[in-house]
Amino acid sequence: MTAQIPDEVLFEGRRFALTAVDGGGLFDPAGHGLETRPGGTACYRGHICRYTTAGQRLTLQDLELGSEHEPPPLCGVRPRQDAECLEWRYRRPDLPMSFTGRLLIGTGDVADSPYLNMGFRPAWMYSDVRELTFRDGRLLTATDHSAELAAVRSEAAPGPVAGEPTGQWISRTFSLSYDYSWPGHS
């Protein structure tokens, strides 16, 4: 198994990894007629989204897509083949998201953080962690939870919790759930 490339959120001029999602309305390739295939072992989902919060609105700014054939345009933007990404890249489709819920985003490495070689890195593995709350794609609140996640980091372990079956732990590492990304918080 391989660590997965996360979606990103451009927030306050900085790129954050998307570590947890609680809600609905983020980009779904199938909902736009796009078929994906895994883009190698680092992207089993077959796509990578880059969102922005410019103007207090959540918008899909960039999309990388694994696809055997050229996919159709998205919001009038034709994809280009890109050897440095999965296979196809949509630059600036500027697609507004109707997301309602919470996103947990993180950036910055922690010097003593353990190495995780599969799934997505949880929020506690980042030094700067924010929780963004949206309603219909509009940013309502942005809360810095870096201190709370630093406390979690001192007790969290990258492996299975006591008694957890290995298969269940592997599934959890590939999720974007709050339970995985911020243990003990709901």
Residue 82 pLDDT exceeds 80 = no
Residue 141 pLDDT exceeds 70 = yes
Question: In degrees rounded to 5, what are phi and psi of residue 166?
Answer: -55, -45
Task: For 98-138, write each residue's pLDDT tens digit.
Answer: 999 999 999 998 866 667 778 999 999 999 999 999 999 99
Which tokens belong to 41? 């072992």
Task: For 35-54, write each residue's pLDDT tens digit.
Answer: 999 978 889 999 999 999 99
Walk across the sheet containing 100-109 and list its strands: 80-81, 88-96, 59-65, 47-52, 8-11, 14-24, 100-109, 126-135, 138-144
Q: What is the percent of the chain where pLDDT is above 90?
A: 68
Do the Cβ atoms of 129 and 108 come closer than 8 Å? no
**Which amino acid makes up residue 43?**
C
Residue 178 pLDDT exceeds 80 = yes
- 169 to 40, 97, 153, 172: CA distances (angstroms): 21, 31, 18, 5
* Mean of pLDDT values over 157-185: 86
On the CB side of 64, CA atoms within 13 Å amount to 20
Which tokens belong to 143? 């809360």
More confident: 107 or 161: 107
Which is it for strands 8-11 and 100-109: parallel, antiparallel or unpaired? unpaired
Which tokens belong to 63? 């999309």
User: ∠ CA 126-132-136 to the nearest 5 degrees?
Assistant: 145
Residue 1 pLDDT exceeds 70 = no
Which tokens belong to 149? 């996640």
